[in-house]
Structure 1
Amino acid sequence: MTFKLATTAMVLLATAQIAQADKIKFEYWYGLTGDLGAVVAETCNRFNAAQADYEAVCVGQDGYEKAVQNTIAAFRAGKHPTLLQSFDAGTADLMLSGEFYPVTQLMADTGVTVDWADYFPGIANYYSSSKGEFFSMPWNSSTPVYYFNKDMFAKAGITEAPLTWEGMEAALVKVKESGAACGLAYAPSSWIDMEQFSMAHNVPVASNNNGYDGLDTELLYNTTLHVKHMENIKRWIDGGFATIRTQAAGKTARDSFVEGECAVFFSSIADHNTVHKLKPAFAWDVQMIPTYEGVERHNTVVGGASLWVLSGKTPEEYKAAATYLAFLATKEEQQFLLENTGYIPVTKSTYDALLAEGFYAKEPFINRDLAMKSLTFTEPGPLTRGIRLGGMIQVRSEWTSEVEAALAGQKPMKEALDTAVSRGNEILARFAQTYAGKSFP
């Protein structure tokens, strides 16, 4: 079921040339790029070839943030797409914009069937109302893990990948003592270091149960275990157990890992397929993100993106979009996505079927289901069902800029987090003022 990404452009051209003029077309704007973007384009080709009534016109937007920003600009000109792939950070803004067609309602109105009860709660909750109505359809879903070099661990005498942060620190010390150039390749990530860390430890990111219970919300992550965690990361960097690796610094954390320089890096499970394709010259594996000793582990939450149906389109375009969404929800298409990326199943039936088929017991898929175990480690609670904050893109940016300043020695980590929270709260206050009198449904 896999395909060669190099042929995608040719297939797209061929599809465009033979498209029937009487097909009902709808535009789909997506944010994924590179190999992952090519997989999105191929799902469009597969849909267009699978039936004769509709044509998905799929247009890459060079990143999730640009996809959202370009859609907002297109709305003003009346040239927005029917379907938008938006990442988790854009969820709250889209929910209160009013410019979307809830997918549960869309399917009911068009008579197209999707079994919404089949979706994992930890995925469904992020994109649903308090009453369980899906506003957007989960699709390319992920959660974070860490990747580790098994050969470097073995040389350092480490026999098991640690599940605690104390164990991780001890492992990084051993790796350095074994003569390795780099233990942890570290790239600051609010999604992993702040958001997912908080979920796994059941501590708040913000008040009002992480924003779900009201717009008068304030950030709290500068008052929780997150502060100690970021101070520890700074200490590891200063002690030579971790090294900052970012694109801006000349080499990404993933590159440092794949080249055999660093023993560990943290990323989305979506990177699993890419790491395999880069063919590291060593044995490697993945593990769930650690938690601190004495803290009861909780579930992580979904990352990636969902598909939003936007307002102002014709009934025919909506029927086409609904048909496409139902197509993507099938086991066959979920498996196609999983085989060609590192993403995870979004429905219980697909996951169960893959387990029964031995999907996760063979290369290159071994242990990818650790992401599923992380997502379903506990039932989602008030602090682990997700984050619903307006302006989340900007909130993340404030965290990143301040953490980078602290890591560069420009200020203490606690001061940096306090500043990031203060600026983030200004963003949340503006969002609340923009939507005064409204609440999340």
Structure 2
Amino acid sequence: MQRRRFLGLTAAGAATAALAPALTACGSDGAGSGTTTLKLVAADYGDSPANSSQKYWDALAREFEEQNSGIKIDVSVYSWTEVDKKVADMVEEGKAPDMAQIGAYADFAAAGKLYSADQLLSIATQADMIASIAHAGEVHRVQYGMPFVSSSRLLFCNKTLFAKAGIAKAPESWDDLQAAAAKLKGIGVPMPFGLPLGPEEAPAETMLWMLSGGSGYTDSTGSYSIDSAENVKTFNWLRDDFVGKGLTGSGDPSRTNRQEVFDAFCKGDVGMLNGHPTLMRQADAKGIKYMMAPLPGIKGTAKSAMGVADWMMAFKQNGHREQIGKFLDFVYSTKNVLTFTGQYDLLPVTTSASEAMRKDAGREKLRQFLDQMDNAEFYPADKTSWAKVSKALKEKIGSTVKSGGDPASVLSEIQRDADGWGS
């Protein structure tokens, strides 16, 4: 989801904070006179230091601390390119944070390191979670991953460039997409279509194209289908009929990150790209005129939309269950959910906040994203192997669209690894 650029701390300061164990008071946590400090490691959804998520968490922590004198909140924010690894390293070193707001939870849950949601959240908070998203946080029918924010994806098109190229409407099929990109290339657009298959968020762009081609990461039984015939066909088409024809610009998609493409779109250098709600604010700030449309498929609009949820989880290592639960109930209050999602144009994961957003005339453009959530497919984040599969995708998927790339071989290799890592 989207977002995710600059460190909230300096690199040295952040590393020091991340590796420091949580501070605890002498004696019993909760009932004694001491103070419990909860350590939270969170991802950065900002695209500059000015709107770093560190500011949100610092303000939220101050407000919570004013209402809960015995609990302090220490938050370290990292970019999405490093936050998952930061947490994994901390856990491996025996210095798990109390909470982590990152991209995957299932491997920690399978290792018995996490509290379940019902051990932490009040009944009212649990009931307010949107069920379809909350279920994606389950491992063996027990919820360990608490969705923090969600988003869906739409095709963004630069209306000014479309008009110059004589393109009347947003593409609905691969043929439309290729034809539009060729016209944009013909008028000198540097990047007719932005294809970020670099390490920042390759799994999202990959899933979008898999859905576009009629498949996905898993089949109807929930088993991995990474090397399905449809997925191989999709990446062959991308290699030969899209990247190979120069329709993604002169750069290397395997080294191109999403924020680079977002930035280029906001400069008017990109004709089309797959984007999430945060891009609207960035484009509006730069005066870019754009339209949004559902994901194009092989013969028409893709049958499934893509939904993304990022996760909050709580580690058992430091034993602060009561204090963590109190803080998370505060985090998931309607007011705080709307404050965060409103800042980054993301979608709420609670029913109360979602309903409030739909009624907000100032958020009208978000309704197109909200409407897709009923038909959205999510990452297979409930699989304990997903974190490793995601890492493999970041490292390897970009090679499939290079000249001479071998999609069938790369997808089969990732499939074999995924099967070996288990469910």
Q: TM-score, normalised by structure 1?
A: 0.75
The offset of 1:339, in angstroms, is 1.9
Select the residue among 118, 121, 127 that pairs with 2:128: 118
Counterpart-to-counterpart distance in 2, 1:321 and 1:267: 33
Going from structure 1 to structure 2, the CA distance change for 1:106 and 1:398 (only over 3 Å counts) comes to closer
Going from structure 1 to structure 2, the CA distance change for 1:120 and 1:163 (only over 3 Å counts) comes to farther
Q: Show the counterpart of 2:17.
A: none
Write the letter of the residue equivalent to 1:128.
E
Counterpart-to-counterpart distance in 1, 2:52 and 2:155: 20
Moved more, 281-290 or 252-261: 281-290
Going from structure 1 to structure 2, the CA distance change for 1:272 and 1:247 (only over 3 Å counts) comes to farther
Matched residue SS, 2:390: helix
Going from structure 1 to structure 2, the CA distance change for 1:50 and 1:196 (only over 3 Å counts) comes to farther
Q: Kindly indicate whether the alpha-carbon contact (under 8 Å) linking 1:145 and 1:286 is maintained by their aligned counterparts in 2.
A: yes
The offset of 1:50, in angstroms, is 4.7
Q: Show the counterpart of 1:311.
A: 316
Select the residue among 398, 404, 423 that pairs with 2:398: 404
Q: Kindly indicate whether the alpha-carbon contact (under 8 Å) linking 1:25 and 1:320 is maintained by their aligned counterparts in 2.
A: no
The offset of 1:139, in angstroms, is 0.9
Matched residue SS, 2:275: strand
Please state if 1:134 is matched with 2:143.
yes
Could you give the per-residue CA deviations for residues 161-202 of structure 1, whole angstroms, max 9, x where no partner exists?
A: 234333322322332344434311221154234324445666
Q: Kindly indicate whether the alpha-carbon contact (under 8 Å) linking 1:180 and 1:262 is maintained by their aligned counterparts in 2.
A: yes
Segments of 5+ residues of structure 1 without an aligned counterpart are 1-5, 10-20, 212-218, 362-366, 433-439
Matched residue SS, 2:157: strand
Going from structure 1 to structure 2, the CA distance change for 1:324 and 1:239 (only over 3 Å counts) comes to same
The offset of 1:150, in angstroms, is 1.4
Q: Show the counterpart of 2:228.
A: 223
Q: Kindly indicate whether the alpha-carbon contact (under 8 Å) linking 2:137 and 2:382 is maintained by their aligned counterparts in 1.
A: no
Q: Show the counterpart of 2:194.
A: 185
Q: Kindly indicate whether the alpha-carbon contact (under 8 Å) linking 2:38 and 2:324 is maintained by their aligned counterparts in 1.
A: yes
Write the letter of the residue equivalent to 1:390.
T
Write the letter of the residue equivalent to 1:408.
K
Counterpart-to-counterpart distance in 1, 2:343 and 2:102: 20
The offset of 1:93, in angstroms, is 1.0
The correspondence of residues 373-412 of structure 1 with structure 2, limited to 5 A, is 373-377=371-375, 386-412=380-406
Q: Kindly indicate whether the alpha-carbon contact (under 8 Å) linking 2:195 and 2:205 is maintained by their aligned counterparts in 1.
A: no
Q: Kindly indicate whether the alpha-carbon contact (under 8 Å) linking 2:64 and 2:327 is maintained by their aligned counterparts in 1.
A: yes
Q: Show the counterpart of 1:171.
A: 180
Indicate the RMSD between aligned Cα atoms, in angstroms: 3.3
Q: Kindly indicate whether the alpha-carbon contact (under 8 Å) linking 2:294 and 2:302 is maintained by their aligned counterparts in 1.
A: no
Write the letter of the residue equivalent to 1:127.
G
Please state if 1:273 is matched with 2:276.
no
Going from structure 1 to structure 2, the CA distance change for 1:370 and 1:295 (only over 3 Å counts) comes to closer
The offset of 1:343, in angstroms, is 1.4
Going from structure 1 to structure 2, the CA distance change for 1:95 and 1:273 (only over 3 Å counts) comes to farther
Could you give the per-residue CA deviations for residues 65-114 of structure 1, whole angstroms, max 9, x where no partner exists?
A: 64444434434554321111120xx233122111010012223xxxx343
Matched residue SS, 1:297: coil
Write the letter of the residue equivalent to 1:54.
I
Q: Show the counterpart of 2:329.
A: 326
Going from structure 1 to structure 2, the CA distance change for 1:122 and 1:145 (only over 3 Å counts) comes to farther
Q: Show the counterpart of 2:306.
A: 300
Q: Kindly indicate whether the alpha-carbon contact (under 8 Å) linking 2:295 and 2:305 is maintained by their aligned counterparts in 1.
A: no
Matched residue SS, 2:355: helix
Please state if 1:370 is matched with 2:368.
yes
The offset of 1:332, in angstroms, is 0.9
Select the residue among 258, 261, 271 that pairs with 2:266: 258
Counterpart-to-counterpart distance in 1, 2:174 and 2:66: 49
Segments of 5+ residues of structure 2 without an aligned counterpart are 1-5, 10-32
Q: Show the counterpart of 1:96.
A: 110
Counterpart-to-counterpart distance in 1, 2:254 and 2:234: 23
Matched residue SS, 2:375: coil
Q: Kindly indicate whether the alpha-carbon contact (under 8 Å) linking 1:201 and 1:297 is maintained by their aligned counterparts in 2.
A: no
Going from structure 1 to structure 2, the CA distance change for 1:187 and 1:302 (only over 3 Å counts) comes to closer
Identity of aligned residues (%): 14
Please state if 1:105 is matched with 2:105.
no
Going from structure 1 to structure 2, the CA distance change for 1:236 and 1:203 (only over 3 Å counts) comes to closer
Write the letter of the residue equivalent to 1:373.
D
Q: Show the counterpart of 1:3.
A: none
Counterpart-to-counterpart distance in 1, 2:179 and 2:206: 22
Could you give the per-residue CA deviations for residues 274-294 of structure 1, whole angstroms, max 9, x where no partner exists?
A: 444xx3243124333223326
Write the letter of the residue equivalent to 1:309.
A
Q: Show the counterpart of 1:422.
A: 413
Counterpart-to-counterpart distance in 2, 1:97 and 1:149: 46
The offset of 1:312, in angstroms, is 2.7
Counterpart-to-counterpart distance in 1, 2:255 and 2:214: 32
Matched residue SS, 2:143: coil
Counterpart-to-counterpart distance in 1, 2:350 and 2:69: 27
Q: Show the counterpart of 1:12.
A: none
Q: TM-score, normalised by structure 2?
A: 0.78
Q: Show the counterpart of 2:90.
A: 74
The offset of 1:36, in angstroms, is 4.3
The offset of 1:423, in angstroms, is 4.3
Q: Kindly indicate whether the alpha-carbon contact (under 8 Å) linking 1:31 and 1:85 is maintained by their aligned counterparts in 2.
A: yes
Counterpart-to-counterpart distance in 2, 1:249 and 1:230: 17
Write the letter of the residue equivalent to 2:107.
D
Going from structure 1 to structure 2, the CA distance change for 1:130 and 1:80 (only over 3 Å counts) comes to closer
Select the residue among 271, 277, 291 that pairs with 2:297: 291
Moved more, 24-33 or 41-50: 41-50
Write the letter of the residue equivalent to 2:399.
A
Q: Show the counterpart of 1:345.
A: 348
Write the letter of the residue equivalent to 2:372.
S
The offset of 1:372, in angstroms, is 1.8
Q: Show the counterpart of 2:166.
A: 157
Counterpart-to-counterpart distance in 1, 2:92 and 2:402: 41
Select the residue among 217, 220, 224 that pairs with 1:205: 217
Q: Show the counterpart of 1:54.
A: 71
Could you give the per-residue CA deviations for residues 17-61 of structure 1, whole angstroms, max 9, x where no partner exists?
A: xxxx9543211111326534333444333433454342211122x
